[in-house]
Amino acid sequence: METDGGSGDGEGRWRDVQKLLTRGSPLAHPDFEPSEQTHQFLREICKVLVIGAGGLGCELLKDLAMMGFTKIDVIDMDTIDISNLNRQFLFTDDDIGKPKAEVAASFINDRVAGCNVTPHFAKIQDFDMDFYKQFHIIVCGLDSIVARRWINGMVLGLLSTMKTVTLISLPLYLC
């Protein structure tokens, strides 16, 4: 089953994001200038990393894919347990014992046309700073305080190599 927002052409899921980015609004920041280029960046260039494929990570992956992000990576070191099934809706009984990142990526890739989720069945500490630098957006869905502190430190370490760009007339830090 492919999700297309009801339009039948696979383009429907971008409709609301496109409206947000390509036309003005009385509620928008006064300096906001609508641009098709911003929408194109989100669809074609922007790389997103989701850390964790558990309860929060499943929701993040689904939401990002449905919003139109097409280049998503997911990292999780855990496997699916029966106790996960009540809150991690991307998994079924048949997935018990399999890596969360791989099953979640497969679920999204099979159902959201044009979206490419790349799984990483590993610990976040297994990757160096260069790996994290390739992403425009890093979203953390971890439940471990130790792991959250580690990734926060890694992302803060990227500050020395970041540059500021303007997206929707607000500063966005690209690492």
- Measured torsion, CA atoms of residues 124, 127, 128, 131, in degrees rounded to the nearest 10: -100
7 is a domain residue: no
Cα-atom radius of gyration of the chain, to the nearest Å? Answer: 17
Q: Return the CATH number at 170.
A: 3.40.50.720
Q: Is residue 151 in some structural domain?
A: yes
Q: What is the pLDDT of residue 83?
A: 94
Per-10-residue mean pLDDT of the chain, 175 residues long, equals 47 70 77 78 90 96 91 97 93 97 98 95 95 94 91 82 56 53
Looking from the CA of 52 toward its CB, the CA atoms found within 13 Å total: 18
Domain count, the chain: 1
Q: In the prediction, which pLDDT does 33 show? A: 77
Compute the half-sphere exposure of residue 107: CA atoms within 13 Å on the CB side of its CA. 21
pTM above 0.75, yes or no: yes
| In-domain check, residue 141 | yes
Which among 25, 5, 22, 1 has a CA at the least distance from the CA of 13?
5
Any idea what DSSP says for residue 79?
A: B
In a domain, 125, yes or no: yes
Q: What is the pLDDT of residue 5?
A: 47
Contact 90, 108 (CB under 8 A): yes
Residue 156 covered by a domain = yes
**Nearest CA-CA partner of 88 in 61, 68, 115, 69:** 61
pLDDT for position 94: 97
Residue 6, domain member (yes or no)? no
- Tokens standing for 60? 């993040």
Predicted pLDDT at 13: 67
Is 103 part of any domain?
Answer: yes
Tokens read off for 116: 């490419």
- In angstroms, the CA 53 to CA 74 distance is 7
Which helix (H) or strand (E) covers residue 66, if one does?
A: helix 55-67
- Residue 57: domain span: 12-174
| Residue 145 falls inside a structural domain | yes
